[in-house]
Amino acid sequence: MAVYFTHKGQQMCFCCDRWDSVADNVQAIRKTIEALRGIERWGTGDMVQQAFTGFVALPSNSPWDVLGLKAGANRSEVEVAYREKAKSCHPDRPGGSHEQMARLNAARDVLLRRVG
């Protein structure tokens, strides 16, 4: 179970899979949020910000997000987005790397298979 939300402009995520049922995992997340709200209410707000540091949402690995596209884009849109992103991700460019380019290539390949 995962709950994604925005806190002070930053994407966050609480997740729990410790319990056997979804309801129990939701309850655990509810209790966690309740406890953090209590900390904030009791005047130790700095502790809340520090606690939230560990809940920053990981970057998306969705091929749509990698290329900066909305789901349902067509083949042409995928190719255009790929070429634009490749300009900054290519290892021969400042700030680019082999890892970034490999991630971009993989996203393009997945999307091109999906759109036909």
Closest of 102, 107, 104 to residue 115, by C-alpha: 107
Domains and CATH numbers, the chain: 2-55 (no CATH), 63-115 (1.10.287.110)
Q: Quick one: 1 exposed, middle or buried, by C-beta within 10 A (0-12, 13-18, 19+)?
A: middle
Please tell me what DSSP assigns to residue 55. Answer: G
| Banded model confidence at residue 48, pLDDT cuts 50, 70, 90 | low
Residue 42 has pLDDT above 90, yes or no: no
Which residue would you say has higher pLDDT here, 56 or 97? Answer: 97
| Banded model confidence at residue 43, pLDDT cuts 50, 70, 90 | low
Task: Note the pLDDT tens digit of each residue in 57-93.
Answer: 666 678 988 999 988 889 999 999 999 999 999 999 8
Closest of 68, 38, 70, 67 to residue 51, by C-alpha: 38
